[in-house]
Amino acid sequence: MDRISGLPDEVLVKILSFVPTKVAVSTSILSKRWEFLWMWLTKLKFGSKRYSESEFKRLQCFLDRNLPLHRAPVIESFRLVLSDSHFKPEDIRMWVVVAVSRYIRELKIYSSHYGEKQNILPSSLYTCKSLVILKLDGGVLLDVPRMVCLPSLKTLELKGVRYFKQGSLQRLLCNCPVLEDLVVNLSHHDNMGKLTVIVPSLQRLSLSTPSSREFVIDTPSLLSFQLVDRNDNSHTFLIENMPKLREAYINVPFADIKSLIGSITSVKRLAISSEVGYGEDFIFNHLEELTLWNKYSSNLLVWFLKNSPNLRELMLVSETDDHENLGMLSWNQPSIVPECMLSSLQKFTWFKYLGRPQDRDIAVYILKNACRLRTATIKSDTRLFTKLEMITELRLSSQASSTCELNFS
């Protein structure tokens, strides 16, 4: 007997846990000693996006025959990567039932097929007391039964999921009392017009949509919020205050987001892309780091400088190479130097700097008025000759801070 085979079972199982499940299963042909060791693995991953039809058929036979015999009393993680065109929904449901019966902690299913009837989740999953992480990606139908109770679920990711009816998601969320992380990437065929998220325990929320929505959000414990519109649509928002919110990423260019802005004024870190005015009533007293996508009117920059008295770091990102489009980015500097420029701004970075007249005016204004600035970094992808001209222009401009280090890259 070789030295490795002479090790205790628990040591061999531990070794197998560091290799892909497919490799671990292949060790069963080595000898009788290894035949059933893989069945004690607590983390299982089956399938691949690159599998052929014949490989999927072999996988189906393997799971039908072996998964019910799995010996580990607890399955920490069970992951399926499937092409549903090669599987019957009842087969997948049976595999999930087996995983649930082993006190599963994490379930992740990727499905590449968007059929009309893809209800692959058994009702027992919705009452699984041990489930902590649930991630569904692709053509999975979420048909939430009346009996739902997921007392341990802390992380929920739903990407491209189809919903059986309008209230399916909220019914699920209402029965996750300790949910902390929620990711919802909506699709054109999700059967959901209004998105309602009412979760008192939620700490991190990420929403993405390709079409117009009505958002209703009530998450008083939220710390991090991300909202992305993938197709520049119009939205409406009904959002309760988020007093604990510390960071937000907002990319909804054409929406009326005044109600949203009013709910995120407690953030310390904010990244935003929008061309809609926000009014004069919102003050970001806690905001320290701000990232702006500089493809719309510079009024957005002026607005944030005026209303962020404690801003410490400013990052601008240019998103257009249209050197002729000067009007949209015209610079109208504030009539009064904002408080943050005089007392708190320490770091300024401009990504994809193009060196257009309005870009130069903005950069020169910040260098000229930011009294506490420590570093200013200009990053450009333009030609060397043009870049040298830009460097010369900015180096010759006056600087309010004698200790500021000006960098170009």
Give helix 357-369 / helix 384-396 axis angle, nearest 10°.
30
Instruction: Identify which has the larger pLDDT, 10 or 233.
Output: 10
b/e 207-218 (16+ beta carbons within 10 angstroms → b): bbbebebebbbb
Give the pLDDT band of residue 331 (cuts 50, 70, 90). confident
The Cα–Cα gap between 96 and 135 comes to 13
Average pLDDT of the residues in 343-364 = 90
Which residues on adjacent β-strands are paired with residue 328? Answer: none
Q: Is the pLDDT of residue 340 over 50?
A: yes
pLDDT tens for 16-39 read 889 988 888 888 888 877 888 889
Average pLDDT of the residues in 164-173 = 88
- Show me where the domains of the chain are located: 288-321+328-408
